[in-house]
Structure 1
Amino acid sequence: MSEPNASASIEIAAPAERVYDVITDLANLASWNAECLSARWIGPVKEARLGARFVGGNRNGGRRWSTRCTVIAAEPGRAFAYHVRAAGVLDVAIWRFDLTPTADGCRVEQKTWDTRGAFMRVVGAWATNVPDRDTHNAANMRKSLEGLKRVVEAR
């Protein structure tokens, strides 16, 4: 895969398996994610597995929007990734978490690849009030990973 449009990483003092469980717990995703308001599994599969789908509700200031996501990597303790679409059909992005065990816990790296076409770039910038999505995502990733660290290490 090409270089991500944005990425961030953090060290967390917890086993990678426990961090993975928090990342894939959609009911509590909004408790640590900077842009997410809510997330819930849809369809017959209600867990992090290849092909599972979920809806994410997001916000930026007063702007609100939702996306439909399909899990494309689900390796407990190692990786979780999903393909994001608007209206279920228009490409938006791929998001990925990679977990690497360390002596004191694990390193979590979050990455995203912008897969929007020209139309979706214009519509997305207007709908989310984010003209520079790469810079915005990088800042939110740092906030989100700090939130993930707080949640995981408090358990």
Structure 2
Amino acid sequence: MTDPNGASVTATVEIDASPSRVYGLITDLPTLAAMAEEAVAMELRRGGSVCQGAVFVGHNEHAGHRWSTTCTVTDAEPGRVFAFDVRYTVLPIARWRYDIVAVDGGCRVTESTWDRRPGWFRKLAPLATGTKDRTAANTEHIAITLQRLKQRAEAG
């Protein structure tokens, strides 16, 4: 679903687990990579933990294509929000954000992404990623990631 506040794609799921548990899963980079559809690994490169200003590398794969990105954590409020900006070399690619809100018996998690690629690069990106329609792919991937997050969080 497209967000009227500018996100390219956003979706929400209710999870029967505490905000702190869900935040812990999202900010554990190997776990986040395992839940994501294109990510195959995420490695912390700068910073002692996944906190604001930390930098990590994301290794991605889709349809036989492989690429890596550099991600900088922009927001890290335990139990509330985790966000990061994604670059390919010096080019802005995307922003990803997870908002967590406590509700009775658990929390509501909203995952959103903003496509920040320059127009000219959007035309070339399918050659590198194998994905012609990034919005459609991200819509599908967010739904999958949120369901995996729900399953892991509720499994205890």
Do the structures match in fold with TM over 0.5? yes
Give the unaligned 5+ runs of structure 1: none
Question: Alignment partner of 1:38: what SS?
Answer: strand
State the 1:2 CA deviation.
4.0
User: What amino acid maps onto 2:77 in structure 1?
Assistant: E
Q: Distance in 1 between matches of 2:54 and 2:27?
A: 11
Question: Alignment partner of 2:146: what SS?
Answer: helix
Instruction: Check if 1:49 corresponds to 2:51.
Output: yes
| 1:38 aligned residue | 41
Note closer, same or farther for the CA distance 1:99–1:118 as it changes in structure 2 (3 Å cut).
same
State the 1:54 CA deviation.
0.2
State the 1:56 CA deviation.
0.4
| 1:143 aligned residue | 144
| 2:98 aligned residue | 97
TM-score normalised by the chain length of structure 1? 0.94
User: What amino acid maps onto 2:88 in structure 1?
Assistant: A
Give the unaligned 5+ runs of structure 2: none
- The correspondence for 1:23, drawn from 22, 26, 30, is 26
Give identity over the alignment, percent.
Answer: 41
| 1:6 aligned residue | 9
**Cα-to-partner distance string for 1:3-56 (whole Å, 9 max, x where unaligned):** 20011111111001110010000022222111110001002x131211110000
TM-score normalised by the chain length of structure 2? 0.93
CA RMSD of aligned residues (A): 1.3
Q: Are the counterparts in 2 of residues 5 and 113 from structure 1 also a CA contact under 8 Å?
A: yes
Q: Distance in 2 between matches of 1:90 and 1:115?
A: 9
